[in-house]
Amino acid sequence: MNGPKVTRCGDTEFRWGERTYVMGIINVSPESFSGDGLTDTEAILEQALRFVEEGADILDVGGESTRPGSTSIGTDEELRRVIPVIEQLVSKVSVPLSVDTYKSEVAVRALDAGANIINDQWGLKHDPHLAELAAEKKVPIILMSNQRDKGDYDAKAQRDTALYQDVMAEVMASLKQSIETAMSAGVPRENIIIDPGIGFGKTWQQDTELVRRLAELKTLGQPILLGTSRKSLIKMVLNLPASERVEGTAATVAIGIANGADIVRVHDVRQMVRVCRMTDAIVRG
């Protein structure tokens, strides 16, 4: 990869290009699209420990649903859901913890509680202060390309209506802007990870195109996170409920790795760790 070779996160080093890293989704929102949202602290901790045992390299803790059409929750409610979980996890797991939020008030409290990574689904376009926070705390930040702010977003209509002539060009322009914002705030290049934003304001056909063309994002020079797990592109192709999309997810993960993904964000950690290891053996040797 023409870009950062290593990203340091606490005591962990991510050595890009050597293998694929697996991010396990810890969803503490009851509104989750995939039906995996947990609210019981014991169940959340049990899932997190199981994910680490199964091979997760990062745990991504999120308190607000990002499914199409979901209603935003207030900062206080997000803090109530997320912070106690991070406070408990930090003493029980050795892998880095990521906070999935676009609010700097939540991110600063999460980092103080022990999180090591900021995962911003709006790529600094909702709250640019996240960049200053990442620079100040010297933590990696994941910047996602989110097209849900483009015109009238309708979850049902977007499945079949092309919003852009060239979705990859749109995503690359969005990510370039996010990278520039982060670096202008003092975030070093090695602490920036990019995410094309599968399912966020694209049609399912455009989502599959992004997976197919993922290698083009390598020109931006940053590690790539791919989040396809259980998403609507799999639903539209296979016509299966979220709980039965593991094979479809596996296909997108394998092709994503072949096309340059460095991290995959998944619900089904055990199965996807195996997919990553097999794909890495073929792709990375």
Q: What are the structure tokens assigned to 34, written together?
A: 């995939």
Q: Which of 203, 205, 248 is nearest to 228 (CA)?
A: 248
Q: Which residue type occupies 173?
A: A
Which token pair is 273? 């760790």
Q: How far is CA 206 from CA 28, 158, 159, in A?
A: 29, 10, 9
Positive or negative, the CA dihedral 185, 20, 92, 269 is: positive
245 is catalytic: no
Going by C-alpha positions, the residue among 155, 219, 223 that lies closest to residue 5 is: 223
Indicate if 270 belongs to the active site: no
Per the residue annotation, which of 19, 103, 148, 231 is the catalytic one? 231
Catalytic choice (19, 103, 202, 265): 265
What are the residues whose beta carbons fall under 8 Å from the beta carbon of 119, sequence distance 6 or more? 60, 62, 98, 99, 100, 101, 141, 142, 144
**What are the structure tokens assigned to 30, written together?**
């009851």
Query: Residue 65 in contact with residue 32, Cβ under 8 Å?
Result: yes
Segments in 55-103 forming alpha helices (H): 75-89
Cβ atoms 56, 22 nearer than 8 A? yes
Q: Which residues are catalytic?
A: 231, 265
